[in-house]
Amino acid sequence: MITTIRSHRSHLSALLLTLLTAGLAYAEPVASVVAVRGQATIERSAKTITAQPKLGIELQDTVATAPAGRVKLLFIDDSVLTLAEKTRMSVESFIHSRSDRGKSLFNLLDGKMRAVVGKTRFEVKTPTVVAAARGTVILFEVGHRNGRPYTRVTCLEGIVDVHPRTETAGGTSGAAGGAAGGTAAPEATVLTPGQSLLVSAGQPIPAPFQLSPAELNELKRDTSTSTSGAEIKIPTAAPRETIIRNVGGAATAIRPIPVVPTFDRQQPQPKPQPTKVDIGVKF
């Protein structure tokens, strides 16, 4: 009898420890704010936090920008997301480790976003499509025309796969999930550098079209945060294995958020000099 009670206590303690560890893992930042123009906020657990440099971004956070507001986020896999004004984006899942390239999933609800994608498999859901890529640069635009949602996806570098988004009994089909009944996801439409497409709700994905350099520059300006020549410097750090699970998963190892760059151009740089990484944040 005593042995049975001790066994139950042991199992209960292990369960509580697992739940506590998982809860701490979910609170770990997966990104940080590196630049803000105007007003931007982070919605987290029914709270609204003002976005400012060095603020950590966690799973399930929704990042929003006000009119004339812009914000740039640096993720622990070195991916960079820049949100233009009047944009809302949520971080749905993020898995990253040294041994596994991992996967990130974002939900762009409205507005415009530029993504500089690292080695992690990167997916973005919008009201009409699911776009997937790795090691590329993409522009997204989500809005409404004549009362119907639309998505515009533009590839600046690399390759982007665009799938139609359809809701099924098991969730969302497309790149992020298969179609109902275990069938294969719809075939992707591939974008190469300089190509763009626009998908309205209820419509099939059209053939991509090529943009002129002037049109590409106009799209880039919408997600730029630069007003002067300040340069961001990101100190390098030894690689550390990291696994961050989305809600419902189990985390086994957590890496702290990377060192956040500074915008102070008056202070001398320490020696040895940190590696310079230009991610386009200029003020």
pLDDT digits (tens, 9 = 90+) for 16-25: 444 444 444 4
Give the span between the Cα atoms of 234 and 34, in whole angstroms. Answer: 10
Model pLDDT, residue 165? 86
Question: Which residues of the chain are modeled with pLDDT < 50?
Answer: 5, 12, 15-26, 168-171, 176-183, 228-269, 274-279, 281, 283
Q: Which CATH architecture has domain 23-222?
A: Sandwich (2.60)
How far CA 36 is from CA of 46, 110, 114, 249, 261, in Å, comes to: 22, 18, 15, 32, 13
Give the contacts of 183 (CB within 8 A, at least 6 positions apart).
none
Per the structure block, which two tokens stand in for 37?
A: 């123009």
Identity of the amino acid at 5: I
The greatest distance separating any two alpha carbons of the chain, rounded to the nearest whole angstrom, comes to: 80
Q: How many CA atoms lie within 13 A of 58 on its CB side?
A: 12
H/E element, 156: strand 148-157
Instruction: Give the residues across from 209 on adjacent strands.
Output: 196
| Residue-level pLDDT at 175 | 55
Residue 162, CA distances (Å) to 67, 98, 153, 202 in order: 28, 27, 8, 15
Rg (CA), the chain: 21
Tens digits of residue pLDDT in 85-125: 999 999 999 987 665 668 899 999 999 999 999 878 899 99
